[in-house]
Amino acid sequence: MSELARALTGDSAAAPAAHILEALGADAVGRLFEGVPHTIYQELWHLAFWQQISLDWIRGNETPYPATPSDAFPAESTTDRAGWEDLRDRFLSGCDEAAAIALNSERLEGQIVCPSRPGHPARSMTVREQLESLAAHNSYHLGRIVLLRQLGSSWPPPSGGYSW
């Protein structure tokens, strides 16, 4: 497996995404900490949202860029605790799809169109560049989820995770 594919599944420099997202009950995913803008559920919703857009762009579907940053997060009151497992599974499936694309060396240098914020011109980049951007974005928000788990005393997960 390539390092890019590992980074897309979260099994590179940090705990795998599947470990980070395991063993979280409804209370944990919906808990909001003082001074922290999003819950674990909202962070993962955001990850799944952007990952889907990135995969759409790679497939050639010019899915529009959100009009405002808040459009890329669920409503503040939204925490579909019953749908947590579906959301987690959808995100992890997208990670696997992105990693599979990263293993297709012929496809990585292909050019794709990535719409930009409203009022800005669309950008062109390679599939590799979009996957690198996705891996960095996922890593950032998965790190936020780890911090939220630490704040809630639910870290490390049963399958293990770094505690430093």
The predicted pLDDT at position 11 comes to 73
pLDDT by residue (tens digit) across 10-60? 777 788 999 999 999 888 999 999 999 999 999 999 999 999 999 999 999
Average pLDDT across the chain, whole number: 91
Domains of the chain: 3-151 (1.20.120.450)
pTM surpassing 0.75? yes
Cα–Cα distance measured from residue 156 to residue 163, given in angstroms and rounded to the nearest whole number? 7
**Phi-psi map region of 114: left, alpha, beta (phi>0 left; psi -120 to 50 alpha):** beta
Question: Which of 65, 91, 78, 69 lies closest to 145, judged by CA?
Answer: 91
